[in-house]
Amino acid sequence: TPSAVQKIKQLLKDKPEHVGVKVGVCTRGCNGLSYTLEYTKSKGDSDEEVVQDGVRVFIEKKAQLTLLGTEMDYVEDKLSSEFVFNNPNIKGTCGCGESFNI
């Protein structure tokens, strides 16, 4: 989303050695999978690259099918600010919101 693009641009401004962010999934939580998000200095050999308004997002190979069709947003309210993933593939989430399953 435009909000996520703006936030990533802002975060990368202070990190000139990084070319974008990498999104993936890891096994964690009550329901199996959790998102990972980190800065990256280069595109991995098997990463899928998505460019949106000049922002480069790399998707790890093992997460590509899991994240297919997912929208990444950045949301701020009075108590928190976070990246949110709107994933149409999710079949269920845990009560604490830490993990999901497909």
Residue 21: is its pLDDT beyond 70?
A: yes
Q: Tokens at residue 57, please? A: 């997002």
Structure confidence at residue 26 (pLDDT): 84
* HSE value, Cβ hemisphere, 13 Å, CA-based, for 25: 23
Residue 96: is its pLDDT beyond 60?
A: no
Structure confidence at residue 39 (pLDDT): 95
* Chain centroid offset of residue 12 CA: 15
Distance between CA atoms of residues 2 and 100, nearest Å: 25
3-state secondary structure of 90: coil
DSSP state of 63: G
Residue 101: is its pLDDT beyond 80?
A: no
Q: Tokens at residue 25, please? A: 């999934």
| Average pLDDT of span 26-33 | 71
What domains lie within the chain, and their CATH numbers?
2-89 (2.60.300.12)
